[in-house]
Amino acid sequence: MAGSNCTQETEFILAGFTEAPATQVAQFLLFLLTYLVTILGNLGMIVLIRASPLLHSPMYYFLGNLAFVNLCTSTTITPRMLAGVLLGKKGVTYAGCMAQVFTFDLFVVTECFLLATMAYDRYMAVCHPLLYPLVMTPERCSRLVTGSYLLGLTNGVGQTISMSSLFFCSSSAIDLFFCDISLLISLSTSDTTLSLVILRTSSSLLGVPSILVVLVSYMAIISTILSISSAEGKRKAFSTCASHLTTVSTFYGALIFMYLIPRSDTSRGGDKWAAVLYTVVTPMLNPLIYSLRNREVKEAWRR
Residues 230, 179: Cα–Cα separation, whole Å: 51
The domain limits of the chain are 11-302
At residue 268, φ and ψ (nearest 5 deg) are -105, 20
110-120 mean pLDDT: 94
Residues 145, 81: Cα–Cα separation, whole Å: 29
48-70 mean pLDDT: 91
Express each pLDDT in 196-254 by its tens digit. 888 888 888 888 899 899 999 999 999 988 888 888 778 877 777 888 888 888 888 87
**pTM tops 0.85:** yes
Express each pLDDT in 244-289 by its tens digit. 888 888 888 877 777 666 555 544 545 777 788 888 888 998 888 8
Beta strands in the chain (DSSP E): 11-14, 91-93, 173-174
Beta strands in 44-193 (DSSP E): 91-93, 173-174
Lowest mean pLDDT among 27-36, 167-176, 219-228: 167-176
Q: Which residues partner with 173 through β-bridges?
A: 13
Q: CB of 77 within 8 A of CB of 297?
A: no
At residue 228, φ and ψ (nearest 5 deg) are -75, 130
Burial class (CB in 10 A: 0-12, 13-18, 19+), 83: middle
Of the candidates 55, 58, 61, the residue with the CA atom closest to the CA atom of residue 303: 55
pLDDT of residue 177: 84
The 10 Å Cβ neighbour count of residue 288 is 14
Lowest mean pLDDT among 55-64, 133-142, 247-256: 247-256
Q: Are strands 91-93 and 173-174 parallel, antiparallel or unpaired?
A: unpaired
CATH number assigned to the domain with residue range 11-302, chosen from the 4 options 3.30.70.3400, 1.20.1070.10, 3.40.640.10, 3.60.150.10: 1.20.1070.10
Distant-in-sequence, close-in-space partners of 247: CB < 8 Å, separation ≥ 6: 66, 115, 282, 285, 286, 289
13-24 mean pLDDT: 75
